[in-house]
Structure 1
Amino acid sequence: MADTTLYDTLRQGLWVAVVISAPLLGVALAAGVAIGLFQALTSVQEATLTFVPKVAAMLAVFWVSMSFMTATLVSFFTDRIVPLIAGG
């Protein structure tokens, strides 16, 4: 395998990781900002108030976007990894 093939596959793999993780990270960011704003406005500093809603929001988004994530990974694997393993 040539160096360029390896680096291109790594680049594509990292891009797939970014695309797959973007919905979860975006929701975690938005929920964290909203909860932080709520805590700052109400002066409620409860630890579970930051953790539980963020986890619930991330689980909901994960459940909704699971088919997208699976399709993206399967596409990367069948289009890029399998031909490399087969020697193409």
Structure 2
Amino acid sequence: MEFDANIEHLQQAYWHILLVSGPVLGVALMVGLVVGIVQAATSINEQTLSFVPKLAIAMLTMALASGFMLTVMTDYFQTIFESIRAIR
């Protein structure tokens, strides 16, 4: 296997990591930003107030996006296994 092929596999892996984790992290970031603004506006500095909504929304996002995530990961692993089979 050549160096360029290894780089291509790494690029695909990083891209798929972004595709799978991006929706959950993006939603958690937005919820954290909104909760932080609300906390700053109301002067409420409760730790659980920032953690619980992010956890709940992140889990809901994972549940809703699980089909997309599974499809992306299945396609990626199918590509990887086909490339491993082609090495022989």
TM over 0.5: yes
Per the shorter chain, which TM-score range?
Answer: over 0.9
Which residue of the partner structure matches residue 24 of structure 1?
24
Aligned-partner SS, 2:19 = helix
Query: 1:81 aligned to 2:50?
Result: no
**Mapping of 1:1-88 within 5 angstroms?**
1-78=1-78, 80-87=79-86
Alpha-carbon separation, structure 2, partners of 1:8 and 1:21: 20
Alpha-carbon separation, structure 2, partners of 1:84 and 1:64: 31
Number of equivalenced pairs = 87
Q: Structure 1 runs of 4+ off > 6 angstroms?
A: none
Aligned-partner SS, 1:87 = helix
Give the % identical residues. 34
Over aligned residues, Cα RMSD in angstroms?
0.9
The alpha carbon displacement at 1:82 in A equals 1.1
TM-score, with length taken from structure 1? 0.94
TM-score, with length taken from structure 2? 0.94
Aligned-partner SS, 2:61 = helix
Q: Which runs of 5+ in 2 are unaligned?
A: none
